[in-house]
Amino acid sequence: MRTQTVVGVLCTVVFFHLVSRMAHANAIGKCKSQVSAFQKALQGHTYDTFKVNSPDVCVKRCDKEEKCQSINFVIDESICELNKESKEARPDNYVTDPRRIYMTVKFDKGGCFKSIVILNSWSFDCMYTCMYVYTWPSGTYGLPRSKTGCPQSPHASEWQIGWRLQDTEDTYPDSRHSNSFHIDAVVLKSHVNRSFCIKHVDKVSTEAKPWPKGQYCIYKKGVCPVGLSEGFIKWDDEDTNNKNNNGGTLPDGIYDKDTRISFCCRTNGNKSDPITLPVEKPFYLLAYGSSECQKVERALGTEEYIQYDNEDSKNSDEWEGSHPFMKY
């Protein structure tokens, strides 16, 4: 029999920190935001033009030059144009241009440090924010491991890695994954080998907050964090000559000839309301209630899945309580 578990959210946001950090107390109340504008440009104020590999190089160059106030980026030629004025100072020269992206860079020198968010090859946002590093929410728990590794943390020993090999079905197997797939896993027709990032200790931190309200699941490790409810999924793996195996630190569960994994889920929020989590590195959340991903602030999410083709004979797949969304 086949079960399909939808795995989300993968946040593919890259942050470039261009200005030195400021004390949080000094930055409060001074933050402003500026967003890049597609098909817009500032005309008549360009003082330097050169080719670049990506838009962030253009922004970094402008940030270093005292004279530069804004940029135009020519999309089809990868050309950077440095401007000595901004649209705020010269609104009459701010025009529509299908070939360009515009962004004010020197919007406010007296406030917060700056981050550049690259969303894809040609789109980017510039954010001024009063928070540089967000710590992960309090508690012990786990996340699916991304190909880029475990989440960034000020405590190197906070996250441990584990893996589980499931021998799913050997007769006409059909396990598979989505075309977009960035999880640290090997998915073949007859087996699935995936990795986990386990936050196995709860470091005391004044910055650590509870998991925010929303609709998503994480792996259970110990007691579910405050506000999350517990459940499990059991995969009935191959009965004959079963090759299940595992190593490292795993989520709570039962790992024998079958695989039973416990989860903790937030169920009392709205997926459309972005939640705040650290986005210095890509990470996964597990979708709850539907295949739609929980929105995360300053992040771009993609929906991915693994289809498990489990034991065909007298299948005993099982689930209970709060668990990730799946199609059966």
Q: Is 232 helix (H, G, I), strand (E, B) or coil?
A: strand
pLDDT for res 57: 80
* Assessment of whether the complete model's pTM goes beyond 0.85: no
Does the pLDDT value for residue 71 go beyond 60? yes
Does the pLDDT value for residue 221 go beyond 50? yes
pLDDT for res 262: 97
- What is the pLDDT averaged over residues 208-224? 93
Kindly state the DSSP code that residue 93 receives in the 8-state scheme.
G
Round to whole Å and give the CA distance between 63 and 87. 16
71 forms beta bridges with 82, 103
Kindly state the DSSP code that residue 91 receives in the 8-state scheme.
G
183 forms beta bridges with 146
Q: Which residue has the higher pLDDT, 229 or 302?
A: 229
CB 298 within 8 A of CB 117: yes
90 CB-near residues (< 8 Å, 6+ apart): 42, 44, 45
Kindly state the DSSP code that residue 224 receives in the 8-state scheme.
P
Round to whole Å and give the CA distance between 28 and 286. 33
Encode burial over 156-173: b for 16+ CB neighbours within 10 A, e otherwise: eebbbbbbbbbbbbbeeb
**161-206: pLDDT as tens digits:** 999 999 998 999 988 888 888 889 999 999 999 999 999 988 766 5
38 φ/ψ angles, rounded to the nearest 5 degrees: -75, 145
Amino acid symbol at 265? C
Of 303, 266, 307, give the one whose Cα is nearest residue 284.
Answer: 303
pLDDT for res 205: 60
State the CB neighbour count (10 A cutoff) for residue 291.
15
State the CB neighbour count (10 A cutoff) for residue 327.
11
Round to whole Å and give the CA distance between 188 and 175. 6
CB 1 within 8 A of CB 311: yes
Task: Provide the H-helix boundaries in 11-66.
Answer: 24-27, 55-64
**94-121: pLDDT as tens digits:** 999 988 888 887 644 333 333 333 333 3
State the CB neighbour count (10 A cutoff) for residue 209.
14
Radius of gyration over every alpha carbon of the chain, rounded to an integer in angstroms = 23
Kindly state the DSSP code that residue 237 receives in the 8-state scheme.
-
Q: Which residue has the higher pLDDT, 47 or 31?
A: 47
Count how many Cα atoms sit within 13 Å of the Cα of residue 307 in the half-sphere of its side chain. Answer: 13
Burial classification of residue 295, based on how many CB atoms lie within 10 Å of its CB (0-12 exposed, 13-18 middle, 19 or more buried): middle
Round to whole Å and give the CA distance between 3 and 61. 50
Mean pLDDT (the chain) is 79
